[in-house]
Amino acid sequence: HDINYIGLTGAIAAANYSFPANLLGDFAGGGMLCALGIMMALYERNSSGLGQVIDVAMVDGVAHIATFVYRMRAAGAWTDIPGNNVLDNGAPWYGTHLCKDGKYVAVGCIEPHFYNMLLEGMDLDDKTLPKQMDKDKWPELRARLAAEFLKRNRDEWCEIFSPTGKYADACLSPVLSLGEVSTHPHMASRGIIRKGPGGEKDVIPGPAPRLSRTPGVPSPMGKGVVPRDG
């Protein structure tokens, strides 16, 4: 199964041993790269006039997607210790935090000026906190931030860090449930969640990427995405 394949690639370890449903193996490393391989072969055929076999494997695809992490590890910027890296929820200022109402916010303020804006919006004095890049003090910093986030509900934090407000560049956003996505202002403005032809419960993301002349349209449940005629 999906989880076994991505476990072989190092991707689960790189994600701090969390399993991203079957999005990474089945769909990204398998199906999507298979589709890309077909498109590459068709494009190459235009110049050579020849066909070729496309060898697709989830382990190949997921490992390829994880190239960025492999490169960071080779450069000494990533360790095999889980939860000890900036992008695997190790850094307290790049990850998720639980709020008072049991919901979560996502924080991604890597750059110092964005991080300082986060602290300002949380009414925290950086002089009373460990330094942002002092990895040995990350557990202490995480505990301080975690305690502060528990003082307000998720949407209260999102109001403070509104995209149109004073602290917009602090890189804080809500972690939405699937049922909340369609009503979020940004997601709604993009029309990302649409009603499919399968009835009231058939609410699905629209096709992506979006083509200007022949955009895809949602198809009945279980039949994937079909191109629009034209």
Output the CA torsion sign for 108, 134, 119, 102: positive
Distance (Å, rounded) from C-alpha 67 to C-alpha 14?
11
Helices (H), the chain: 2-8, 11-14, 33-48, 58-65, 67-74, 112-121, 138-149, 154-160, 185-190
Helices (H), 111-184: 112-121, 138-149, 154-160
Per annotation, catalytic residue among 2, 26, 88, 97: 26
Output the CA torsion sign for 59, 61, 67, 68: negative
26 carries an active-site annotation: yes
- Estimate the crossing angle of helix 58-65 against helix 33-48, to 10 degrees: 90
Per annotation, catalytic residue among 1, 155, 186, 202: 1
At 55, list the tokens.
Answer: 């060898």
**Which whole-number Å values give the CA distances from 1 to 8, 33, 58, 230, in the listed order?**
11, 17, 10, 38
1 carries an active-site annotation: yes
Q: Nearest to residue 110, comparing CAs of 83, 140, 90, 128?
A: 90
Contact 214/230 with Cβ under 8 angstroms?
yes
Output the CA torsion sign for 116, 117, 121, 122: negative
User: What are the residue numbers of the active site?
Assistant: 1, 26
